[in-house]
Amino acid sequence: MRFKKLYSAMIAGILMVFVMAMAAPAGAAGVTVDGARSFIESVANQAISEVAGKEDVSTEEAQDSFRVLLKQAFDMETIARFTLGRNWRIASDQEKTAFKNALEDLIVRSYTKRLKDYNGEGFEVTGAQKLSEKDVGVNMLIYPDASKKNPVDLVWRVRSVNGKNKIIDLSVEGVSMSITQRTEFASVIQRNGGKVQALIDSLNKKEKLE
C-alpha cells in the first residue's frame, strides 16, 4: 500500500513539472537555486487543473500530449545514458536509438494511464539547494490525500541543458529513480549474456503489457 502511495505521488509530481517546463523561463548561463525553484513553482498550481483527470480526452490524445511534455521537461538523452550505464559504450548506434525509444514509450504509456485517473491532493515546494556545480535539487512534498497526512518527499534534480531547465532525475523518499533503473537494467543485461538487445526487448515487452 505504501508503495502505491509513493508511486501515485511520484506521478503527480512528474505531471506538475511537465507543465512547468512549458511555461517557466530557463537560465541561459546555467541553473541557479532561485531559477530552479522558480521553474518548479511558477506553474505547479496549474498542472493538476489543466492536465490530470481529463475524462473527455482519449488515451491516444493523452499519450501524445504526455510525450510532448516529456521531451520538453526532461533531458531524456542524459537519463538514457545514465540508466544504461557502462553498457552505453558497448551498445551500437542502432541499439542506443532503440533503447531510448523503448524507454520513452514505456514511460509514456505507463504514466499516461495513471495520470488520467489522478485527481490531485496537493503539493508544497519546500526548498532548493545546489547538489553539484551543474545541478540544483528542488524539494517538494506531495500529499497522497486531502488530509495532508504522511506527505511524500520528492527531490527534483534540475540542470540547464542548452539554455533550458531540464530534469535529469527524481528522488522519492531518498531513492533515486535513475539509480534504481540503472541497477535494474544492468541486471537484465547481465542475466542475458551482456546483450543490450535483451534489455530493449524486455522494455518493449513491458510497454505492451502496460
Could you list the pLDDT tens digit for every one of the 210 residues in the chain? 554 555 555 555 555 555 444 444 444 457 899 988 888 776 455 445 545 666 777 878 878 877 877 787 889 999 999 999 999 999 999 999 999 999 999 888 877 776 666 565 677 889 999 999 999 999 988 887 777 888 889 898 999 988 888 889 989 999 999 999 999 999 999 999 999 999 999 999 875 555
Q: Cell 524486455 belongs to which residue?
A: 202
In what helix (H) or strand (E) does residue 125 lie, and over which residues does it extend? strand 123-130
The residue extents of the domains of the chain are 2-209
Residue 146, C-alpha cell as written in the block: 486531502
- CATH 3.10.450.710 matches 2-209: yes
Could you tell me how far CA 102 lies from the centroid of its own chain? 15
φ, ψ dihedrals at 207, nearest 5°: -60, -40
Alpha helices in 24-159 (DSSP H): 33-50, 59-73, 76-84, 87-90, 93-115
